[in-house]
């Protein structure tokens, strides 16, 4: 806003200059055109005709005067160019210095349709424009459940961390599976100025289980409705994101939009970019009520304190009960209920510019939200097809997504200079131990490796295990790197019981493994195999760490520990299970005849 006002002052100053300079010039020329009370001609021919005293000195004066006139004309033309540029340039957001983060961009505060394009409506006023302070903590809430969603959250978090300049506080509403995976991941990731809190999603099921839902997200797709009740009472505002979101800019820019809310606006949403709520996608299509095209809930700005005062819990429940009497179920989970509430109370919503939620679903009109790469802020893969969605620019979006998918997460462990962070006991102890090492020691690299904390992603693929009734089950435990990947199918064919594997991979190799596993019928038919990714760091292969990770995450009373190169004979799993049922006591022993094999 301050930049806009300065621009207007420059515009007025330039206009006055453009008007005054010609006037001053002609006054100067008029006064200088008289010599001893007689007019002096500007043309040499005229002067020769009218003045017999034409001399070389007067000719030089006239030539210098002509040069000055040409300079004035050039200055006028330059001023005109500046004015035309100033008039043609829209008042856009400007980045401040490093002591501040981002001032707010143009947005829309009404319910106009998507026709506004990239920058819609809402003119700005002169005055102090609110910005995000350098060390202000940004709060982000994400609902996450299951193994696949946990993988998606990692990519989302990478894109946020890559661009961020502020401390972050993630509020993860997660089931027991996602909490185990993500708690271990963030604990071993050790990213400075990042705090993570978990909220048990299973305890919230009773709040929304009464709502029939046809959306593929299931019951967890309704849990955004209860965030005012779930999140801490002292939390005033939060950005709510779907797991299939990719950021292409600093999230602080989105956080700054909160300052543009006025009156009773408590929800910041982007208009839906498909015709779903218009009801014309197919014959007899009957969507939930919505204001115009409706709003997409993949990205939401929530003013929690005001929502609580408005009794949001009662508001959405009454609306859902009323609409379910005719609709019977939701088709788009929480989005249907949010839109029904907004339809009855349009004053609640602040419409975000559509580049804050570029929706890549079928029947989308998202190409109207951007003209250039710099226009993109947030990409939303809100189609069940995900990366296979049909879009004329899908290759560009897919490459952007894959960039973060395969990006080395260790590079995101960077400090935010100038921002005090909460003391992490583990991090402080690690730094103290590293400082005590002697760099001149010949074994320095090996000693340093002992203190390396490797980022760990447990249960990278879907995992299911039903324990044996007689508690005599046994798990095969092994560790491997990328060059032993071809052994997995053979081991799965020879061993029918549960398997726990630790894989030492880079971020890019982890995605190669994912594609390999998803393309293998043998591996996809086995759900009792736990794949635990330990991400590469340093120059050594941490064999003991890998074994410990694989051993720690077994669900059976017995384990069969072996190197990945050893192929168990057919029927070994059944034989060992029967043997344990006879002994009825845990056996942990090492076979001296076969090295690296323990039972």
Q: pLDDT (tens digit, 9 = 90+) per residue, 362-414?
A: 666 766 676 666 678 999 887 656 555 566 667 777 888 888 999 999 999 98
Largest CA distance in the chain: 136
> What is the residue-averaged pLDDT of the chain?
80
Handedness of CA 61, 62, 64, 68 (dihedral sign): positive
Of the candidates 319, 325, 327, 222, the residue with the CA atom closest to the CA atom of residue 285: 327
Residues 411-429: pLDDT tens digits?
Answer: 999 888 778 766 565 666 7
* pLDDT exceeds 90 at position 491: yes
Q: What is the pLDDT of residues 305-363, one digit of tens each?
A: 999 999 999 999 999 999 888 888 888 889 999 999 999 999 999 999 989 998 887 66
Q: Looking at the predicted structure, is the pLDDT value of residue 94 above 70?
A: no
76 or 95, which is more confident: 76
Per the model's pLDDT, the better-predicted residue between 468 and 109 turns out to be 468
Over 18-85, what HEC string results? HHHHHHHHHHHHHHHCEECCEECCCCHHHHHHHCCCCCHHHHHHHHHHHHHHHHHHHHHHHHHHHHHH
3-state secondary structure 198-249: EEEHHHHHHHHCCCCECCCCHHHHHHHHHHHHHCCCCCCEEEEECCCEEECC
Of 569, 463, 488, residue with least CA distance to 151: 463
> In the numeric block, which tokens belong to residue 194?
């990042």
Q: Which of 179, 185, 170, 175 is nearest to 235 (CA)?
A: 170
Using alpha carbons, select from 485, 483, 563, 546 the residue that is nearest to residue 520.
485
Q: What are phi and psi of 147, to 5 degrees?
A: -75, -45
pLDDT class for 216, splitting at 50, 70, 90?
confident
Supply the pLDDT for residue 51.
Answer: 47
Tokens of 44: 């040499």
pLDDT in tens, 256-292: 999 999 999 999 999 988 877 877 666 776 788 889 8
pLDDT bin (cut points 50, 70, 90) of residue 54 is very low
Cα–Cα dist 271/256, whole Å: 19
Structure token pair of residue 574:
């059944």
* 72 CB neighbour count, 10 Å cutoff: 17
Q: How many CB atoms lie within 10 A of CB 458?
A: 24
Q: What tokens appear for 1 in the block?
A: 């806003």
Residue 300, class by beta-carbon neighbours within 10 Å (0-12 exposed, 13-18 middle, 19+ buried)? buried
The total of other beta-carbon atoms located within 10 Å of residue 593's CB is: 6
Strand pairing report for 168-174 and 138-144: parallel
| Spatial separation of the C-alpha atoms in residues 10 and 3, rounded to whole Å | 11
Helix (H, G, I), strand (E, B) or coil at 444: helix
Lookup result for tokens 């005590």? 436
pLDDT given at position 284:
72
pLDDT range class, residue 578, cuts 50, 70, 90: confident
pLDDT at 1 over 70: no
Q: Which tokens hold the place of 72?
A: 């004035």
Question: By the 8 A CB rule, do 275 and 405 touch?
Answer: no
C-alpha distances in angstroms, 74 versus 42, 78, 482? 20, 6, 68
Distances (CA, A) of 432 to 189, 194, 355, 389, 416: 18, 21, 45, 50, 20
Distance in angstroms (rounded) separating the CA atoms of residues 527 and 521: 12
pLDDT, residue 59, reads: 65
The angle subtended at Cα 299 by Cα 294 and Cα 302, nearest 5°, is 95
């Amino acid at each position: 806003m301050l930049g806009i006002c300065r621009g207007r002052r420059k515009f007025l100053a330039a206009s006055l200059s453009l008007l005054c300079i010609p006037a001053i010039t002609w006054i100067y020329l008029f006064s200088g055109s008289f010599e001893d009370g007689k007019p002096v001609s500007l043309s040499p021919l005229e002067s020769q005709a009218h003045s017999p005293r034409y001399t070389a000195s007067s000719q030089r004066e006239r030539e210098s005067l002509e040069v000055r006139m040409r300079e004035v004309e050039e200055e006028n033309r330059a001023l005109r160019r500046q004015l035309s540029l100033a008039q043609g340039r829209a008042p856009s957001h400007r980045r401040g210095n490093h002591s501040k983060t981002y001032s707010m961009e143009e947005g829309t505060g009404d319910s106009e349709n998507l026709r506004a394009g990239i920058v819609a409506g809402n003119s700005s006023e002169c005055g102090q424009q609110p910005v995000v302070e350098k060390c202000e903590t940004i709060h982000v809430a994400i609902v996450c459940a299951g193994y696949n969603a946990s993988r998606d959250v990692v990519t989302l978090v990478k894109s946020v961390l890559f661009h961020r300049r502020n401390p972050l506080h993630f509020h993860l509403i997660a089931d027991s599976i996602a909490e185990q995976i993500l708690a271990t991941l963030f604990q071993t990731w050790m990213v400075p100025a990042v705090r993570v809190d978990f909220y048990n999603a299973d305890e919230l099921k009773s709040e929304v289980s009464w709502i029939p839902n046809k959306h593929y997200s299931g019951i967890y797709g309704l849990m955004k409705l209860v965030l005012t009740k779930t999140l801490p009472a002292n939390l005033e505002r939060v950005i709510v994101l779907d797991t299939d979101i990719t950021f292409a800019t600093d999230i602080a820019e989105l956080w700054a939009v909160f300052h543009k809310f006025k009156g009773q606006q408590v929800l910041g949403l982007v208009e839906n970019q498909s015709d779903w709520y218009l009801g014309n996608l197919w014959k007899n299509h009957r969507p939930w009520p919505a204001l115009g095209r409706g709003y997409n809930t993949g990205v939401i700005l929530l003013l929690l304190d005001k929502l609580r005062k408005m009794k949001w819990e009662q508001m959405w429940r009454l609306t859902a009960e009323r609409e379910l009497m005719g609709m019977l179920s939701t088709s788009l989970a929480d989005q249907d209920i949010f839109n029904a509430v907004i339809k009855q109370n349009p004053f609640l919503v602040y419409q975000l510019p559509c580049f804050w939620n570029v929706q890549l679903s079928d029947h989308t009109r998202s190409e109207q939200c951007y003209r250039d790469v710099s226009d993109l802020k947030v990409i939303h893969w809100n189609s069940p097809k995900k990366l296979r969605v049909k879009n004329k620019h899908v290759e560009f979006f897919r490459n952007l997504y894959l960039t973060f998918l395969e990006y080395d997460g260790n590079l995101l462990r960077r400090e935010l200079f100038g921002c005090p962070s909460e003391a992490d006991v583990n991090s402080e102890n690690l730094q103290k131990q590293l400082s005590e090492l002697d760099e001149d020691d010949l074994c320095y690299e090996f000693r340093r490796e002992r203190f390396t904390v490797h980022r760990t992603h447990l249960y990278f693929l879907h995992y299911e295990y039903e324990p044996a009734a007689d508690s005599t089950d046994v798990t095969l435990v092994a560790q491997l790197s990328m060059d032993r990947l071809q052994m997995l199918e053979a081991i799965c064919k020879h061993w029918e019981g549960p398997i726990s594997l630790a894989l030492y991979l880079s971020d890019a190799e982890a995605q190669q493994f994912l594609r390999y596993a998803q393309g293998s019928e043998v591996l996809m038919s086995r759900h009792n195999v736990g794949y635990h990714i330990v991400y590469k760091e340093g120059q050594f292969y941490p064999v003991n760490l890998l074994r410990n990770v694989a051993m720690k995450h077994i669900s059976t009373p017995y384990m069969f520990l072996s190197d990945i190169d050893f192929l168990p004979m057919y029927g070994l799993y059944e034989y060992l299970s029967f043997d344990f049922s006879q002994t009825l006591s845990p056996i942990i022993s090492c076979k001296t005849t076969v090295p690296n094999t323990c039972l």
